[in-house]
Structure 1
């Protein structure tokens, strides 16, 4: 089935890239050609075609597919029992944490090793926050990152503008977003995301979710509670273009936009705080 929206297509392509990187890691191969040779060597007695010659796997490795790889998953599942789960749920369930329903996100949260089944969700959340914020640089586990993503996804949907009670005025979801930023910048987590070929895509997706959350801010939520949003992109020109485009779309100014995105943010912050 072909995707109905560009967002669905992007998810399919990101999932494909991560899956193929994981399978190439399992097979000790480093590119599509080597992976295809590995498959051919192990399936030639089954009567399968020469996949190295057909270059069948190149689009999957590069994320250039146009529809969910249902047929490819059936084929791969004959060699890799977890192929289907790795595609749909992702490494360490990252796709469930990012895009899954609330029930799946809560399940991921409750997997924290220091939690017990009877812990209330508030205690679970606190332990996840501590795992990320108190961890030494470069020592954060990928599973900690996934739990941080699940926490943010859960709060962004279930408590988008709820306030914290620690006195700083920020909302729950925004603080969870900051926690995610801390975790994916950790060298150990960043290296794993880059090895999976999804570092930039994950950052872009998390930023898009946060921008949508901020862009639909109700009138009764202050700018401070919603969070001082910054588009996190390594390329300054892309960051500037995205930031300006967002503000023009969601909160257009009556006068001509200011040149610097940071000035636009400051101007909007002042206006929102005074409403």
Structure 2
């Protein structure tokens, strides 16, 4: 519906009916096939409807399984398999990766010779996102996808071994993305904003409940978990994160390093 500019499923169903006549399909609108797909009302993988949509949209199967901008894969993909989440982290290749369209990204990925490490990618991604916010540059759905992928990868690494990689900023990046107007409208057009937001808040609450070291690194008491998961941006400021990241290209509007602030 989003791609064709429709706001109701019956509009899409009518359009599919018209277009499918050229393919020799029988009437599909009266069977409520597309209503069921839109509502997720199916017990088994909807192979037939997806294959039919694939004749009208080349990427129908990909969008259904991975979501817009691979968002479903970032949310629910296997966090242990590096081919699932790590490949969604475009900043590992180039800092402007989340802003590139798919064609530009494929070229950048194919010609990359020296990808960043996980730690480097994490720092650069958060810094670039904060810089974009500082200059009021719009964030993309790719930013949300990468923020979630990095967050889940950091969680996995921390569950396997003691890690000194600071990952506090990743959930803040997720919340910044959820507050971005463009991302809100795009997800809302898909009818998925509330679902995605709720899933991410619950993900953070569960992590804070289970991972005491993670909770302690933020400085939370148990009774503060729910509040933090819903409003982490009010607990830690962007300036605090700039100080922690200590990137030499931080904007001048961020706080001066503590040693300099003490001297003034």
- Tell me the TM-score normalized by structure 1: 0.65
Q: Corresponding residue for 2:217?
A: 225
Q: Corresponding residue for 1:184?
A: 178
Distance (Å, rounded) in 1 between the aligned partners of 2:62 and 2:54: 10
Question: Conserved in 2, the CA contact under 8 Å of 1:152 and 1:177?
Answer: yes
3-state secondary structure, aligned to 2:25: coil
Question: Conserved in 1, the CA contact under 8 Å of 2:208 and 2:214?
Answer: no
Q: Corresponding residue for 1:127?
A: 124
Q: Corresponding residue for 1:149?
A: 148
3-state secondary structure, aligned to 2:191: coil
Say if 1:206 and 1:117 are closer, same or farther in 2 by CA, change over 3 A. farther
- Report Cα offsets for 1:148-194 as digits up to 9, x if no partner: 111111112222585657xxxxx52x431122112211222112121
Structure 1 segments unaligned to the other structure (5+ residues): 1-23, 166-170, 235-275
3-state secondary structure, aligned to 2:211: coil
Say if 1:34 and 1:109 are closer, same or farther in 2 by CA, change over 3 A. same
**Cα deviation, residue 28, structure 1:** 3.5
Distance (Å, rounded) in 1 between the aligned partners of 2:54 and 2:30: 21
**Cα deviation, residue 45, structure 1:** 4.1
Q: Corresponding residue for 2:202?
A: 208
Question: Conserved in 1, the CA contact under 8 Å of 2:36 and 2:42?
Answer: yes
Moved more, 150-159 or 56-65: 56-65
Structure 2 segments unaligned to the other structure (5+ residues): 98-111, 232-264
Say if 1:162 and 1:129 are closer, same or farther in 2 by CA, change over 3 A. farther
Number of equivalenced pairs: 203
Q: CA RMSD in A?
A: 2.6
